[in-house]
Structure 1
Amino acid sequence: MLLVISPAKNLDYDTPATTERYTQPQHLDQSAELIEQLRRYSVQDIAELMKLSDKLSALNVARYESWSESFTPDNAKQAILAFNGDVYSGLNADDFNDEDLTFTQQHLRILSGLYGVLKPLDLMQPYRLEMGTKLSNPRGKDLYAFWGNIVTDDLNQALADNANPVLVNLASNEYFKSVKPKALDGRIITPVFKDWKNGQYKIISFYAKKARGLMCRYAIKNRINDAEQLKQFDLAGYQYDEDQSKGDTWVFTRKEA
Structure 2
Amino acid sequence: MLILIAESKTMTPCDGMINECDYMSHRPALESDAAEIMSNLRSLSAESLCGSVKLSLPMVRKLQQMIYEFPNKASGSKAMNAFTGVVFKAFSYQTLGEASRVRTNGRVRIISSLYGWLKPDDIIKSYRFDFTTPLAPDGKTFSSYWRDSVTKLLLKEIEKQDCHDVLNLLPGDAARCIDWKVINSWVKVWKADFKEVHPGAVMRTPNAGRLKTLRGRLLRQIINEDIMSPEQLVSIIGDGYIGPDSIDVSGNILFHSIADN
Is the TM-score greater than 0.5? yes
* TM-score for the superposition, normalised by structure 1: 0.88
Counterpart for residue 169 of structure 1:
168
Counterpart for residue 195 of structure 1:
196
1:44 aligns with 2:47: yes
Q: In 2 relative to 1, CA 25–233 (structure 1 residues): closer, same or farther, beyond 3 Å?
A: farther
* C-alpha contact 2:195 2:257 (8 A) present in aligned 1: yes
The number of residue pairs the alignment matches comes to 251
1:135 maps to a residue whose letter is L
1:187 maps to a residue whose letter is K
Q: CA offset at residue 12 of structure 1?
A: 2.1
- Please give the secondary structure, in 2, of the residue aligned with 1:50: coil
1:210 maps to a residue whose letter is T
Counterpart for residue 158 of structure 2:
159
CA distance in 2, matches of 1:136, 1:88: 26
Q: CA offset at residue 201 of structure 1?
A: 2.0
Q: In 2 relative to 1, CA 188–133 (structure 1 residues): closer, same or farther, beyond 3 Å?
A: same
1:193 maps to a residue whose letter is F
For residues 164-210 of structure 1, the C-alpha deviation after alignment (integer angstroms, 9 at most, x for no partner) is 42110001000011110111131110001122347522222111111
For residues 75-107 of structure 1, the C-alpha deviation after alignment (integer angstroms, 9 at most, x for no partner) is 110111110011011111011232222111110
Counterpart for residue 89 of structure 1:
89
For residues 30-179 of structure 1, the aligned pairs below 5 Å read 30-68=33-71, 71-72=73-74, 75-135=75-135, 137-138=137-138, 141-179=140-178
* TM-score for the superposition, normalised by structure 2: 0.87
> How much identity, in percent, do the aligned residues show?
23
CA distance in 1, matches of 2:249, 2:243: 12
1:225 aligns with 2:228: yes
Q: CA offset at residue 115 of structure 1?
A: 0.4
Mind listing any 5+ residue stretches in structure 2 that lack a counterpart? none
Deviates more, 1:118-127 or 1:226-235: 226-235
Q: In 2 relative to 1, CA 48–196 (structure 1 residues): closer, same or farther, beyond 3 Å?
A: farther
Q: What is the alpha-carbon root mean square deviation over aligned residues?
A: 2.5
* C-alpha contact 1:86 1:209 (8 A) present in aligned 2: yes
- Please give the secondary structure, in 2, of the residue aligned with 1:188: strand
- Please give the secondary structure, in 2, of the residue aligned with 1:80: helix
CA distance in 2, matches of 1:219, 1:89: 16
